[in-house]
Amino acid sequence: MNDMLQTAQNTIIKTGKGMGLSQEVIDRLIQPDSIHEFVLQVQMDNGKKKLFSAFRIQHNDNLGPYKGGIRFHQNVSRDEVQALATLMTIKCAVAGLPYGGSKGGIIFNPKEYSEKELERISKEYARAISPIIGPEVDVPAPDVNTNGQIMKWMMDASKQPMATFTGKPVKYGGTLGRTAATGRGGVIILESLILKLKSQITNFKSQINSKSQTGALSVAVQGFGNVGYYFAKIAQERGFTIVAVSDSKGGISQVGAGRDLPVQIDSLDIKKIMECKKEKGEVAGCYCVGGVCDMSKGNKITNAELLELPVDILVPAALENVINKGNMYKIQAKIIIEMANGPISEEAYNYLTEKGVLIVPDVLANSGGVAVSYLEWYQNMKGQTWSEKKVNKKLHEMMHDAFEEIWRTYQKRKTSLKQAAFETAIGRIIKKR
């Protein structure tokens, strides 16, 4: 059993016992409804046929149709897909959506295949899962290494109605606002949290240790893919000071590793850094502030060093278990927003929580994507097309409401935000049994 699955199940067990649930109910919350394994036979460009192992795991549909992405990655495993399906059940319940959780995956590295081969693999997978999906049964979406184009291929091959897949290109029934939704949702949650803390802490800046020029809180974001980029961009627009960002090859920071932040500091220009990354192929070296990029300035840092910077808010938005036993003692941030799935190991989570670090769990922080997937599904089911402004307004309402519910449980139960999120979710799931 992989770490993510073990952690998810342990959290459900702990929460269920704390709620006084029977072992039978807890076991039912842990075990998936169904596990589907496939062997896909796909013709390659050279005319030879190749076999690919694939999965679709449907965890729980008490609240509604299963919902979950499809990932293409060489490290996909049954345990990982089961863990992600389990977390999707919790995430949908946390967000107040009428969905259960599922997940899919194919074991291969898509970067090693041509576009035509990717299309054939995608369509073969869609034909395999077609009998077990549908707009009121199971609604797939993009995930790691999949996108709107792949959803369009799958929609065509599955012969299912348009509402079966979300994350589609807008011209094929997708929704405006989906691309930035996960990052935007995370910033909405962060702002909701800061408002709560300001109302409770008299001297907020001294408590959070902010040193930025404007009094804005300092933020470091690990991961500059879709989620990390939009989180950083929108957070900067909302007045936060972004002091460091990184991608898989390393990052750029306002401060070197092991040094304190300067008293006066301007935010990195996230939009310009993305332009620079597209040109150079990496974030490292793209030191951009105030609309100007200067490759001779800034500090190149590793992903590991970014996590240990003396910032107010740390945002792991890339891989799982990046904060673990090996580096947990070096984490200086007072707030961590989990934008990646499972970025903190169980041991590190317990240590940091006891130390007083406030951790917003992934099932809440990154639920903006599935929230807007629901809005896409809703528009498809009703034959409607909404403006981006309306989608973003609805997203804000949904994320704010989800946060408020969990915050109430957090304060009432005197527990962690993660425990409060799981308790809220499990309460909703078992209520529908």
48 is catalytic: no
pLDDT average, residue stretch 363-370: 96
Cβ neighbour number for residue 52 with a 10 Å cutoff: 16
CA nearest neighbour of 315 among 220, 403, 250: 220
Element (H, E) at 373: helix 368-382
* Domain range summary for the chain, segments of one domain joined by +: 32-172, 181-365
Question: With 50 as the cut, is the pLDDT of residue 392 above it?
Answer: yes
- Percent of the chain residues topping a pLDDT of 90: 85
The DSSP letter of residue 80 is: H
Residues 188-229 have pLDDT tens digits of 999 999 999 986 544 444 444 554 444 579 999 999 999 999
Gyration radius of the chain over CA positions: 21
Question: With 70 as the cut, is the pLDDT of residue 424 above it?
Answer: yes
CA nearest neighbour of 212 among 252, 243, 236, 190: 243
C-alpha span between 63 and 93 (Å, rounded): 8
Cβ neighbour number for residue 207 with a 10 Å cutoff: 13
pLDDT of the residue at 215: 55
pLDDT band at 20 (very low <50, low <70, confident <90, very high): very high
Do 32-172 and 181-365 have matching folds? yes
State residue 137 phi and psi, 5-degree precision: -120, -60
pLDDT average, residue stretch 42-61: 98
pLDDT of the residue at 199: 61
In this prediction the pTM is 0.92
Which of 235-239, 260-264, 319-323, 426-430 comes out lowest in average pLDDT? 260-264
213: its two tokens: 């020029």
CA nearest neighbour of 64 among 382, 378, 366, 417: 378
Q: Under 8 Å CB-to-CB from 382, ≥6 apart: which residues?
A: none
pLDDT of the residue at 2: 82
The fourth-level CATH superfamily of domain 32-172 is Leucine Dehydrogenase, chain A, domain 1 (3.40.50.10860)
Q: Under 8 Å CB-to-CB from 9, ≥6 apart: which residues?
A: 30, 86
pLDDT average, residue stretch 320-345: 94
Contact 39, 53 (CB under 8 A): yes
DSSP, collapsed to helix, strand or coil, labels residue 128 as helix
What angle do helix axes 270-280 and 226-237 make, rounded to 10 degrees? 150
C-alpha span between 372 and 2 (Å, rounded): 29
Question: With 50 as the cut, is the pLDDT of residue 263 above it?
Answer: yes
C-alpha span between 423 and 415 (Å, rounded): 10
Question: With 80 as the cut, is the pLDDT of residue 66 above it?
Answer: yes
pLDDT average, residue stretch 44-63: 97
pLDDT of the residue at 216: 79
Average pLDDT, the chain: 93
Question: With 90 as the cut, is the pLDDT of residue 178 above it?
Answer: yes
pLDDT of the residue at 433: 59
Contact 300, 323 (CB under 8 A): no
Identify the CATH class of 181-365. Answer: alpha beta
C-alpha span between 433 and 86 (Å, rounded): 17
pLDDT of the residue at 122: 98
From the list 17, 48, 91, 103, the catalytic residue is: 103
